[in-house]
Structures are given as C-alpha cells and as structure tokens.
Chain A
C-alpha cells in the first residue's frame, strides 16, 4: 500500500512518465572534428518566392479574452502565410546534409520568443539542439506555452504576471514544432531545431542568409508551416550548393499553392 501511495505521489509530482525537459547537451556526433565558427567563411544567401497570387491574410478571431481584444485597435491578421511582393516571410531554410562532417558546440546565447499583445514574437524561430529557447511573457495576463514536438518531449508552461519566463531545450533535430497558447487559440509559433548552426528564417523580403559554412557541398531545404498537412502550399525539393571560402553561394526556392 505504501508503495502504491508513493508511486501515485511520485507520478503526480513528476508528471508520471513524461520525460523531463531535455538536458543541456548537443546530440552526439561520432568522432567528428569540432567545428569552429572562425574557420567557416562561406555563406549561402537567397530568397524564398511565391508563385502566383498569394491568398489574402485572414483576420484572426481575437476574442474570448477582452484584455487581449483591447490590445488591438484593428483586425489581427493570420501569420500562417505572409507573402510580400511575391516573397515569403517566415520560411525556414536549413542545411539538410553536408553538415555531418563536424561536431558543433552548443551556442552560449538563448533564443527568445516573447508573448506580446497576445501574439508570439517572432512567429518562427530556429535553434540549435542543446541551446536554450526562452518563452517570455510581456503581457500582464495569463498564457500557457504548449509545445507539440514529435521527437522531443512535449511541454506546457503556465505564465502570468508573476511567471514571465520559461525555458526549454531541444535535444533532437525537429523542424516545424508547433507552439500554441490554449488560452488564446489564435496564438501560435513554430520552432525549427537543428544539430548544427546552419539555418535561418526568411525576413519580410523573403531573404535568408546562412553563414559560417566550411567549403564543401551542401544540400539545402525549405520548410513552411503551410506545408503541414493538410498542406496549402507545396515546397520545392532540396537544392545542392557548392560553398567556397569567403564566397556567397546563391539559392532560391519557390513555393506554390496546392491545387
């Protein structure tokens, strides 16, 4: 009986079997030499374009919490597909292969996703495995930060005026992890976690730049949240680029609406 009670109490206290947030460690890379940023002088830069007329951004239903509604005078537009002059914002471009030749130290800095005016800012971020991602709350109201990874342990943090910061560490590579607020359903963000530092999110002009690459051939891929099933856009196949010292290789991706 004591064992049973202890097991129940332990389960309640620990979350019963759910793995704790990941330890601060990069995934193992077998005997590969340590990557040093100063050695990587190559660069890949490019743009993610959208072919055809992009759908209009739909207004979100910012209701259910009057304090959130009060923070917005006009309509709050969906960030799921932002196309400016035929260029796609918030796409993740990353090195899919070619990075495995080195092992990568965990970056010191952390990536911050803030909750401000009942939105996640930025909407899409990338991190390196082992690197801390911090979710902060600039709003004076309650949010929860609910992550839905598949390969990494899921997470859920309550936040309010007194608990304004929660951290998480991805241990496995995983692209497009949805993070949502269950209190305010319109709030969502996406995270790409990689075992290397060669990833970027496109800016409002659809541009990206990946720096610090050592010479060699790399395979680049693009991810966009509208490609998640049921897909609304198609993403192109990966492209190969040849990177040379102190040079910038170009790459371009074109997204299309699913017909």
Chain B
C-alpha cells in the first residue's frame, strides 16, 4: 500500500475525510446521550419527514431528533466523499473503504428505523450501537489512507519480531470490538424496565464480562504500546495514537467505574419517576464516546501499521526467529 496515487490536488478529499471523523463522533455522542436519557422512543416513528421547531428545545425529543439530523447529515457527507473518491481517487482500497462506510451508514439507518419501530429491543439496539462504532473506525481509516503520511514516498520499515505490529493492532481492535459489544449489551439490557415490570434482573453476567473485557483490552493495549514505544518511536503516526490510547484507556476505566456505580444506584431509585440525573447521563455518554475514540485510534494504528511497517518473513510464517529481539530494521525512519 505504498502507492502515492493520490495527487496533492485532492486536498479537499483529504479534508473531507478528516471532517467525517468529528461528524461520526457527534452522531455517536448524540446517540449515546439519547440512550442515557432513555429518550430513543420519544418519536414513535422510525422514519419521519415532518418536524416541529419545539423538538429542538424539548429536552428528551431534542436528543433523539438531533441524533437523527446529525446522522442524516453524516450520511450525506459520506455519500459525497464516496462519489468524490470514485472521481479523483485511483486506489481501489480507498474506494472500497468509502463504499463500505456508505453501506455501513445505510445499514445503520435501517437498523435505527427498525429499532424504533420495534420499540428498541436489544436485538436491534445492540447491533445499532456496535455498527456505529465500526463506521467510526472506517472513517478514521479513510482519513489515514488519504493523509499526507500515507501518500508520501515514505518507505516502510521491516520488523524482525515474530508477531507483527499489524497482528497486535488487529488483536487490539478485536478485543475492543468485543468489549464494545459487551458494553452495548450492558447498556441496552433495559434493567430499568425489568425493575418496573417486576421481572428479574439477570444481566449481571454482562457486567462481569465487561469488567473482564476491560482488563483484556488493557493487556492488549500494553502489548501494543510496548512495541510501538520501543520499536516505532520514529513514526509519529503510530506513536501519537498509541499514546492517546493509553491515556484514554486510563480515563475510560474511571468513566466506566463511575457509570456502573451510577447506573446501579439510580436503577434502584424507583420512586424517582424523573429523567435520569445529569451526572448519570454525563458519565454513561462519556464512557461510550471515549470507547469509540479508543476504537478509532486502534483503527488508526492498525491502518498505519500496514503503511509504515512491513512484517518480518518470520511473522508471516508465524515462527519465531532467533536473535530478532532488536526490533525493526529501518528502511527509512522519519515522518
């Protein structure tokens, strides 16, 4: 993937790819806020064409409505990017990734409509939540592929480790994806409704699995971070996102603990027929958004590991090679 097929004339495409990242994050933020406020069903119809000005100022409807508006705007921007990429971009990978993002957005919209029409059961809400994160990672990868670092004539370095950086990065992505799935299951367990209706609360395993998953992600982050800090410090495109993953993971553990405590505390507060308190909304939403950012950054590391680091022949055979602990053999070490 060392082709420099994109010309510098397509700065606009690069900027649009970067702009998709905060847009996707905004959609996730508003979706998370909607869920935290338990406001996903304030508009009973999954698909609407009419709207009212007061929807933007009425607390619970505004969360759901702005989520829909931002998702629609993001979808249009992804469509624009895809069309533009097909016109100016010569690399097949970028076009495929753009189409995958667009398909992800469309499926996500359909899932959202179906979820609302079916009163948000977990079987639709959980995939809706997880697919959003996957689309976010795709936008991060699009930004990587259209970045100057990627399109420069920088030569990749060859690793000498048996386990490649690519593999470590993909492992981290898989670990985070599973963790996001568990988090979504925990978030959409509808404990509040279970309590209201007198049903038993049987979702404790979600919490236990999510906590165990956090430690597994922590382990995978440490493994990746040690490799990057030790062997690939020269690549800012790898070093910076890895640093941020470690910082944000520490923050994420704090946010997750607070969100779990607050959820447990307020779920038992049945007498309060009020909206969830702001502090609970804040921590639950922040936990979800930071999780998305970590996932996105892991996608960035994975993408750049393809561009900047060549696995050793030993890695491709998955056989450890003796005397290869020195790390990389840089072909060119500067970004």
Contact = CB atoms under 8 A, between A and B. Distances in A.
Asked if A pairs with B, the answer is yes
B148 to A, nearest CB: 40
Contact of A60 (B110, B118, B195, B274): B274
A63 B38 CA distance: 15
Contact of A182 (B41, B46, B199, B270): B41
B61 interface: yes
A156 B118 CA distance: 9
Task: Select the residue from B41, B110, B195 with max chain A CB neighbours within 10 A.
Answer: B41
Interface in A165-192: 176, 178, 182-188
A160 B271 CA distance: 28
Contact of A158 (B40, B45, B119, B198): B45
B60 interface: yes
Contacts of B42: 144, 182-183
Contacts of B13: none
A229 B195 CA distance: 5
Given A64-B59, A157-B44, A178-B197, A15 B117 contact: yes
B58 A65 contact: yes
A16 interface: yes
A203 interface: no
B198 A16 contact: no
B197 A18 contact: no
A184 B275 CA distance: 8
Nearest to A160: B52
B273 A8 contact: no
A148 interface: yes
B60 A12 contact: no
B110 A12 contact: yes
Residue in A155, A156, A176, A178 with the greatest tally of chain B CB atoms within 10 Å: A156
A15 B119 CA distance: 9
B203 interface: no
A80 B274 CA distance: 12
Interface in B191-205: 193, 195-199
B39 interface: yes
Interface in A135-177: 141-142, 144, 146, 148, 150, 154-158, 160, 176
Range class of the B interface residue count: 35 or more
A188 B273 contact: yes
A78 interface: yes
B41 A228 contact: no
B268 A230 contact: yes
Given A156-B44, A156-B119, A230-B268, A186 B38 contact: no
Contact of B196 (A182, A228, A232): A228
Contacts of A78: 271, 273
A182 B196 CA distance: 14
Contact of B60 (A66, A185, A228): A185
B195 A182 contact: no
Contacts of A14: 117
B96 to A, nearest CB: 20
A182 B199 CA distance: 20
B41 A144 contact: yes
B114 interface: yes
B118 A144 contact: no
B122 to A, nearest CB: 13
Nearest to B48: A158
Contact of A18 (B60, B118, B193): B118
B58 to A, nearest CB: 5
A127 B103 CA distance: 47
A52 interface: no
Contacts of B270: 228, 230, 232
Interface in A54-75: 58, 60-61, 63-67
Interface in B86-114: 110, 113-114
Contacts of B60: 64, 182-185
Contacts of A187: 273
B263 to A, nearest CB: 15
A129 to B, nearest CB: 19
A54 to B, nearest CB: 13
Contacts of B43: 144, 158
A23 interface: no
B52 A142 contact: yes
Contacts of A16: 114, 117-118
Contacts of B55: 142
B71 to A, nearest CB: 16
A25 interface: no
A11 interface: yes
Contact of A148 (B47, B193, B275): B193
12 contacts: A17-B118, A64-B275, A78-B273, A142-B52, A144-B43, A146-B44, A155-B119, A158-B44, A178-B197, A182-B42, A183-B39, A232-B271
What are the 5 closest A-B residue pairs judged by CB atoms, nearest first?
Answer: A64-B59, A158-B44, A15-B117, A61-B274, A185-B275
Interface of B: 38-47, 52, 54-55, 57-61, 110, 113-114, 117-119, 193, 195-199, 268, 270-276
